[in-house]
Amino acid sequence: MSGQIFWNGTALPYRPGETVATALTRAGVLRFGVAPGGQARGIFCGIGQCQGCLVQVGARLTEACLLPCRDGLMVSDAGGPQHG
Ligand code: FES
């Protein structure tokens, strides 16, 4: 079943079976946040090994490339100045 996730409060559609990383990429979101060193976060390995795609879901950080979309899922960028 398709539906929508929320990226930094903006509704984005997803297709059945998509991960959050795929849905974000398809929506044109390539920058998932900023790493402590100032580099942009985004998809690199796509298999849960590099943590380049970390996003925030509630109080935890998780790999967007491993996170299945589900309707109403609230996701936000991880790291960067706005997160201290
Ligand atoms: S892209 Fe490497 S962990 Fe997700």
pLDDT at 2: 78
Give the helix/strand (H/E) hosting 21. Answer: helix 20-26
Q: How far is the CA of 40 from the centre of ligand 1 (A)?
A: 13
For residues 32 and 39, is the Cβ–Cβ distance under 8 A? no
Q: What is the pLDDT of residues 34-82, one digit of tens each?
A: 888 888 999 999 999 999 999 999 999 999 999 999 999 999 998 654 4
pLDDT at 52: 94
- β-strands 3-7, 10-14: how paired? antiparallel
Distances (CA, A) of 1 to 6, 35, 57, 73: 16, 33, 21, 14
Structure token pair of residue 4: 């929508």
Domains, the chain, ranges and CATH? 3-83 (3.10.20.440)
Ligand 1 pocket check: which of 32, 44, 61 to mutate, most ligand atoms within 8 Å of Cβ? 44
